[in-house]
């Protein structure tokens, strides 16, 4: 059986979509509860995302193998109809007997994550909670895992993560390729889109949007406090073949049951995209709108069996550098792991995210509850600031084996008489002014501490980089607290 392989072509497509989406005006939600939730979310910086479903039984890419489109990043099947039947039948074999929600929550805590996004249903329609809207669900009595005490996987995970004081996010696909009123058996399901003309069959489309509404309502009413509804499947929108998902009705229903909830109708823009979600890449510059880079630890969002060049695992150092880069530009970082058919994760990926978590235990002060500050970063240095403007943080990124006695902080002129401390140890370090920059003594580091060295600066005289400047008012806001 051939597997779908996501290549760099898909990444380029995501970047292109993100570029178009950035041009859309960002809607500033006026609801004070939403504003507060968004500010709280900005404090968290690191999220844990998991893609999991019946597709993990064979280590397949999530959902996409059942689509027949003439694009570079899908491997075509000679008999797509036969493959779809095989794919949907994987639900009868999905039996994650090693799944322990508390272990997942422990891992999230170990990696330093502060919020959790779970794929309650991907595009293939297999529902990971006890929905009443379809039998294509993890709790179907005909499926092997239905007898487990953890059978309602979504509820079990949400409860476990709440015990770790995580924000809770429900990923949900707007399109559902298993539903007979999205891909009707009357016509060939050739592409990701609805496979009939909605104008000719409005009653079918109403059945489908009612189904979607009811599934969202179940998540909003049966699973405790939900902080984020993370919607995927941007092609299901009224500007594309009339696929109107009635998002005003859906969003208002969510806010009725979950006041202040963040709704992320990704790539769409407007009222129901409360923050933006570039995928598998980090924007080259800072963005004032709330945003989150979601990225995999290996090549793919779903679980992979084979350790091959395709499944290269990002190292702890690499993840640390990406997190620092994202946060310096004002974003959050959402790290994805794909869960195995047994209910756990690849050991190499576990070790990688745990290494990131160990670095955060030492240096998290420069990450959590911070905000971006120009010049954001130059060369191997990134900057953040405390959200109350009381401190500036400089983070020096180090490559494997790199040893530095001194480091230049470009664009950051530390004020004379200021205090600079190594955050990991609390020890003061010496510095000197060098033009518009600062030369700083580098403490010796090893292990996870060597990924990057974070410094706390009590007072800056000036911050201005090659591309960006910092107003005197902003500098004064930092300094007046000292």
390 and 281 both lie in a single domain: no
* 1 lies in some domain: no
Q: What is the pLDDT of residue 411?
A: 93
CA distance 194 to 416: 64
352 and 377 both lie in a single domain: no
Q: What is the pLDDT of residue 76?
A: 76
**Distances from the Cα of 302 to the Cα of 74, 161, 264, 316, 440, angstroms:** 15, 21, 21, 20, 43
Nearest to 455 by CA among 416, 410, 425, 413: 425
Q: What is the pLDDT of residue 9?
A: 47
Nearest to 87 by CA among 54, 135, 52: 54
190 and 293 both lie in a single domain: yes
Range of the domain at 455: 373-479
Alpha helices in 179-271 (DSSP H): 202-222, 247-257
Q: Which region, left, alpha or beta, applies to residue 182 given φ > 0 means left and ψ of -120 to 50 means alpha?
A: alpha
Q: Are 290 and 273 in contact (CB under 8 A)?
A: no
Give kind and range of the element (H or E) at residue 452.
strand 452-457
Q: Are 286 and 330 in contact (CB under 8 A)?
A: yes
| Domain end call among 310, 339, 366 | 366
**Distances from the Cα of 153 to the Cα of 28, 95, 137, 159, 221, angstroms:** 34, 12, 10, 10, 16
263 and 396 both lie in a single domain: no
For residue 66, the tally of other CB atoms under 10 A from its CB is: 25
74 and 107 both lie in a single domain: yes
**Distances from the Cα of 319 to the Cα of 211, 221, 301, 405, angstroms:** 39, 35, 16, 24
Phi and psi, residue 362, nearest 5°: -85, -35
**Distances from the Cα of 14 to the Cα of 177, 296, 478, angstroms:** 21, 14, 37
Q: What is the pLDDT of residue 309?
A: 61
Q: What is the pLDDT of residue 78?
A: 87
396 and 274 both lie in a single domain: no
Burial class (CB in 10 A: 0-12, 13-18, 19+), 149: exposed
* 59 lies in some domain: yes
| Domain end call among 366, 397, 422 | 366
Q: Which residue is it, tokens 């924007």? A: 283
199 and 319 both lie in a single domain: yes
Q: Are 311 and 68 in contact (CB under 8 A)?
A: no
248 and 348 both lie in a single domain: yes
Alpha helices in 48-183 (DSSP H): 80-89, 101-110, 153-162
Contacts of 157 by beta carbon, 8 Å cutoff, 6+ apart: 101, 104, 105, 116, 118
State yes or no: cis peptide before 375, omega within 30 of 0: yes
187 and 326 both lie in a single domain: yes
Contacts of 146 by beta carbon, 8 Å cutoff, 6+ apart: 138, 139, 140
CA distance 187 to 293: 37
For the record, the structure tokens of 144 come out as 């092997």
300 and 443 both lie in a single domain: no
| Domain end call among 351, 366, 381 | 366
Task: Identify the three-state secondary structure at position 290.
Answer: coil
Q: How many domains would you assign to the chain?
A: 2
Task: Say which CATH number the domain at 46 has.
Answer: 3.20.20.80
Residuewise pLDDT in 10s, the chain (482 residues): 333 344 344 445 454 444 555 567 899 999 999 999 999 999 999 999 999 999 999 999 999 999 988 887 777 788 999 999 999 999 999 999 999 999 999 999 999 999 999 999 999 999 999 999 999 999 999 999 999 999 999 999 999 999 999 999 999 999 999 999 999 999 988 899 999 999 999 999 999 999 999 999 999 999 999 999 999 999 999 999 999 999 999 999 999 999 999 999 999 999 999 999 999 999 998 888 999 999 999 999 999 886 666 678 999 999 999 999 999 999 999 999 999 999 999 999 999 999 999 999 999 999 999 999 999 999 999 999 999 999 999 999 999 999 899 999 999 999 999 999 999 999 999 999 998 899 999 999 999 999 999 999 999 999 985 443 445 565 455 445 43
15 and 147 both lie in a single domain: yes
Q: What is the pLDDT of residue 23?
A: 63
* 2 lies in some domain: no
* 269 lies in some domain: yes
Per DSSP (E only), the strands in 319-436 are 332-338, 370-371, 377-378, 381-386, 392-397, 406-409, 412-414, 420-422, 431-434
What's the start-to-end Cα distance of the chain, in Å? Answer: 65
């Amino acid at each position: 059986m051939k597997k779908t392989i996501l290549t760099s072509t898909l990444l380029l497509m995501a970047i292109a979509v993100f570029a178009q989406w950035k041009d859309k005006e960002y809607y500033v939600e006026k609801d004070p509860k939403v504003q507060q939730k968004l500010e709280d979310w900005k404090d968290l910086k690191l999220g844990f995302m998991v893609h999991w479903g019946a597709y993990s039984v064979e280590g397949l890419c999530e959902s996409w193998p059942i689509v027949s489109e003439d694009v570079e990043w899908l491997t075509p099947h000679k008999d797509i109809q036969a493959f779809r039947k095989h794919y949907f039948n994987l639900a009868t074999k999905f039996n994650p007997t090693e799944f322990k929600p508390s272990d997942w929550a422990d891992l999230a805590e170990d990696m330093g994550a502060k919020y959790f996004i779970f794929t309650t249903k991907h595009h293939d329609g297999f529902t990971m909670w006890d929905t009443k809207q379809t039998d294509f669900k993890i709790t179907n009595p005909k499926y092997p895992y239905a007898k487990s005490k953890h059978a309602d996987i979504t509820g079990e995970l949400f409860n476990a993560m709440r015990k770790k004081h995580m924000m809770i996010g429900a990923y949900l696909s707007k399109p559902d390729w298993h539903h007979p009123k999205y891909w009707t058996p009357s016509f060939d399901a050739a592409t990701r889109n609805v496979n009939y003309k909605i104008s000719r069959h409005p009653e079918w489309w109403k059945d489908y949007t009612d189904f979607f509404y009811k599934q969202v309502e179940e998540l909003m009413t049966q699973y405790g406090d939900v902080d984020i509804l993370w919607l995927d499947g941007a092609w299901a929108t009224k500007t594309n073949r009339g696929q109107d998902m009635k998002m005003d009705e859906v969003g208002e229903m969510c806010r009725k049951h979950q006041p202040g909830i963040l709704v992320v109708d990704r790539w769409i823009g407007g009222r129901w995209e409360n923050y933006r979600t570039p995928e598998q890449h980090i924007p080259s510059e800072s963005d004032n709108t709330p945003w989150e880079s979601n990225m995999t630890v290996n090549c793919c969002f779903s679980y992979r069996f084979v350790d091959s060049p395709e499944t290269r695992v990002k190292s702890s150092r690499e993840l640390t550098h990406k997190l620092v880069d994202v946060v310096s530009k004002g974003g959050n970082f959402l790290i994805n792991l794909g869960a195995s058919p047994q209910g756990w994760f690849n050991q190499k990926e576990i070790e990688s995210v745990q290494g990131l978590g160990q670095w955060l235990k030492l240096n998290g002060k420069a990450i959590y509850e911070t905000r971006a500050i120009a010049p954001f970063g130059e060369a191997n240095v990134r900057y953040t600031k405390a959200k109350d403007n009381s401190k500036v943080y400089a983070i020096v990124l180090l490559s494997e084996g790199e040893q530095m006695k001194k480091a230049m902080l470009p664009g950051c002129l530390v004020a004379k008489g200021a205090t600079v401390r190594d955050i990991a140890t609390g020890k003061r370090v010496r510095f000197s002014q060098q033009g518009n920059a600062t030369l700083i003594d580098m403490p010796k580091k090893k292990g996870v501490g060597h990924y990057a060295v974070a410094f706390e600066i009590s007072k800056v005289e000036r911050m201005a980089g090659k591309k960006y400047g910092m107003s005197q008012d902003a500098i004064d806001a930092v300094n007046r607290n000292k």
